Amino acid sequence: MKIISYNVNGVRAAQKKGLVEWLKTTNADVVCLQEIKANQDQIDLAAFEAAGYKHHYWFSAQKKGYSGVAILSKDEPLHVAYGTGIESMDFEGRNIRADFEKCSVMSVYVPSGTNLDRLTHKLEYMDMFHHYIDSLKDTHPNLIICGDYNICHEAIDIHDPIRNKNVSGFLPEERAWFSRFLKSGFIDAFRHFNSAPHHYSWWSYRANSRANNKGWRLDYTLVSKPMESRLIRAVILPEAVHSDHCPVLVEIS
């Protein structure tokens, strides 16, 4: 199974930049999208279906044009869960999960901490999310949680760790949470295969950041420990330029 996760920063804008045509070349089985910024009736669904994704599931924010996640799949899932059932997490459309016979795939979009109020919300979300996943693992042990976590875990995951040490996305408490989450039973699939620095998944639109590779690794494919032996590869795909993020890919047997 080949799974791609992509914060598209607006699915309608990404479609205009060739997203669907690019997806055809990847031949992924499941695609997790974040920050779709649209309701389902605003999206060109037929284009995704023509690309082979007959089964698509969208969980939009209550606020129009904001946040939202989706899962596209070539095969029909056994079950789809919209949100977590926790209202303060779900009103912004940040979690959707598709259960298949041998694994469950979640698309997650963790809030950013752009100001004090949003940082407080982000930290609360992260704690609730951890508790939710701890419970979910009891019934769904084979979990793949893909998405934009809005956190750089280690210094090698950000181009300038010194200057950004007090910036949300690289705060000590955010990084510590990520470490605890991994220790609770998950593998950072990309780091499982690649320990080199300078691999990022988001670049600011300012100061020619992408061309100079001054980026942040915010997007992850986290795979539960019971699936470790099934990991085949995990890569970042910076050649895809439909967003300020780029996709990340994990492949499992």
- Measure the CA–CA gap between 53 and 239, rounded to whole angstroms: 22
Domain span at 65 = 2-252
pLDDT tens-place values along the chain, 253 residues long: 999 999 999 999 999 999 999 999 999 999 999 999 999 999 999 999 999 999 999 999 999 999 999 999 999 999 999 999 999 899 999 999 999 999 999 999 999 999 999 999 999 999 999 999 999 999 999 999 999 999 999 999 999 999 999 999 999 999 999 999 999 999 999 999 999 999 999 999 999 999 999 999 999 999 999 999 999 999 999 999 999 999 999 999 9
Burial 93-129, CB ≥16 within 10 A → b, else e: bbbbbbbbeebbbbbbbbbbbeeeeebebbbebbeeb
Q: Are 155 and 164 in contact (CB under 8 A)?
A: no
- Characterize the bridge pairing of strands 248-252 and 2-7: antiparallel
Q: Which residue is listed with tokens 């986290």?
A: 222
- Measure the CA–CA gap between 216 and 80, rounded to whole angstroms: 31
Quote the pTM value.
Answer: 0.98
Q: Domain holding 70: CATH number?
A: 3.60.10.10
Number of structural domains the chain divides into: 1
How high is the pLDDT of residue 131? 98
- Measure the CA–CA gap between 248 and 189, rounded to whole angstroms: 10
Active site residue 148: yes
| Residue from 148, 157, 188, 219 carrying the catalytic annotation | 148
Q: Which of 80, 96, 75, 70 is nearest to 29 (CA)?
A: 75
